[in-house]
Amino acid sequence: MRWWCLCLILVAPAAIGAETKDPLDSARWEEMRKQFFPGERVVFDDRVKVSAPKFAEDSMNVPVTVNADGLRDVQEIVVFADFNPILKVLEFYPDRAKPFLGFRFKLQQASPVRAAAKTSDGVWHVGGAWVDAAGGGCTAPGAGRAAAGWEKMLNEVSGRVWSAPDLSRRVRLRVMHPMDTGLAPGIPAFYIEQLVLRDNRGTSYIRLKTFEPVSENPVFTFDLPAGTETAGPLVLSGVDNNGNKIASTIKP
């Protein structure tokens, strides 16, 4: 009897946080797990909250908010959509920011939209939401290309910082870019690959790796924790897949 009780004590912790059946019941989940997290520990976790509309009225601009603030020591967040022709949407590294991000992306058809947050212990915590869509978000040309002289505004940045009552700060950035997927006839892939937000000392606050499904003229929203002090204004830098540079200063 004592040996049986000891086994229970030793075995029970191994079951805590074990991966269970996909709560979104996607036929492609196992494929997603193997592609994005080969050999790594993955758990479904309600603390990774993905907010998105149940139906995407505009498949080229689907608003999504990811909030993993309930986890400790989030190192990286990966966002992907099971049934998109280009699966990965972005990678977010909240170096000195909260693990919170708002953005818009293109959705080709109804799909789970997932966010996986990796904590310092190497575990991936996955949350998600189903989004229905009329379709075609990834294969339609961007509307901005129809405007004359759009190239002159390429990589222009606008941004703003707000102070919240809890002394945290919200930052919102927009970068003018067509973010072409390469799936529209006659239009090659042309998209932002990397964005980094630093202060004058070079301290990194966020890093983003973005991919073709991010919406045209992308807008990103994130939060700095209460008490965060920056050395002067924030500086955004980046590059697109054609080597065009992005550089701007975001003043408080």
The CATH number covering residue 134 comes to 2.60.40.2470
Q: Report pTM.
A: 0.90
Each residue's pLDDT tens digit, 109-151: 999 999 999 999 999 999 999 999 988 999 998 887 767 778 8
SS3 for 205? strand
208 in a domain, yes or no? yes
> What is the band of 18 on the pLDDT scale with cuts at 50, 70, 90?
low
1 in a domain, yes or no? no
> What is the band of 4 on the pLDDT scale with cuts at 50, 70, 90?
very low
SS3 for 46? coil
Range of the domain at 148: 20-250
Among the residue ranges 24-28, 70-74, 109-113, 163-167, the one predicted with the least confidence is: 163-167
Q: Which two tokens stand for residue 230?
A: 């920056």
4 in a domain, yes or no? no
> What is the band of 167 on the pLDDT scale with cuts at 50, 70, 90?
confident
Query: What residues are paired with 204 via a beta bridge?
Result: 198
Q: What's the domain count of the chain?
A: 1
Q: What is the pLDDT at residue 147? A: 73
The closest of 119, 100, 174, 184 to 145, measured between CA atoms, is 184
The closest of 137, 82, 91 to 116, measured between CA atoms, is 91
User: Of residues 157 and 231, which shows the higher confidence score?
Assistant: 157
